[in-house]
Amino acid sequence: MTAALYSLRAGRSVKLIEKQAFGGQIADSPRVENFPSIKEISGLEWSNNLFEQITALGAEFEMDEVKSIEKKGDNFVAHCEYGDYEGRAVIIASGVKHRHLGIPGENLKGVSYCAVCDGAFFTGKDTMVIGDANSALQYALLLAKTSRHVDVVTLFDKFFADDILVSALKSLQNVSIYHNYNSVRFNGTDKVESVSFEGRLDKKPMTIEINGVFVAIGQVPDNERFSNLVELDKGFIVTDENMATKTEGVFAAGDCRVKKIRQLTTACNDGAIAALNANTYLTTKSHS
């Protein structure tokens, strides 16, 4: 959406294609406290504000899923589930998708990857978070406000999250923390009823009964559909500092590209750079 904002302000027409909800991962974040000039805001509210800003400037949008992108002459065609869309330049900002554990029972009802979306369904019940970084702890803190009890289970012997989140979590009376456990199976017939673990070091089994479990173990890229136009490194799109890919007229921005830091601020930065360089590309093509 930042790419759209800068493109619109450069006088370009913009069409956004999104398969789920505008804002991507940040829309699932219960609290954003590290965006400059905003002390605290929910990810959903932040996303909605930006969406309203770009639509007011004339951005068009489609709820659709891009299956592939084809270069056609000087233009590009996005082949989507419900139709095709054509443009003179493309900015890929596909983000990443939730990493799955890949264990039996992961499709049971009650197994979720978004506490903001589904946490309210378990008000007054016992919930669990599997994960050890910022997203996992934010989920646990959010769930602790409405759940009867929250179990937090990590694979290693410590958290890899901001100290302020770790301290906040450890101060809660209705939270139990279990380190060094490998997830083995989600148990239940139709919906999840418990989760089985194995000690990473001692191999001892452990089963915890819960009503809902939230998995927050990171994200993975989903860019194979663009491999005809971009170079991939471990699934992430390779760009230069201008967000340009190996194909002239195709740019990439945000978590989908090769980079070290993946934060809201760096995603906005990428979007602005990609849009401004896409505009330069289009201007150059018009005068050539």
Strands (E), the chain: 15-18, 60-63, 66-72, 75-80, 84-87, 90-92, 96-98, 111-112, 126-130, 149-153, 175-178, 181-187, 194-199, 205-209, 212-215, 219-221, 232-233, 236-237, 250-252
Read off the pTM: 0.78
Residues 207 and 223 in one domain: no
pLDDT score for 114: 86
Among residues 215, 246, 276, the one where a domain terminates is 215
42 exposure class (CB count in 10 Å sphere: 0-12, 13-18, 19+): middle
Residue 266 sits at the vertex; the CA angle it makes with 261 and 269, to the nearest 5 degrees, is: 145
In a domain, 104, yes or no: no
Low-confidence ranges of the chain (pLDDT < 50): none
pLDDT score for 288: 66
Residues 209 and 118 in one domain: yes
Residues 72 and 15 in one domain: yes
pLDDT score for 98: 87
pLDDT score for 16: 96
In a domain, 120, yes or no: yes
The number of distinct structural domains making up the chain is 2
Q: Which helix (H) or strand (E) holds 44?
A: helix 43-56
pLDDT score for 28: 78
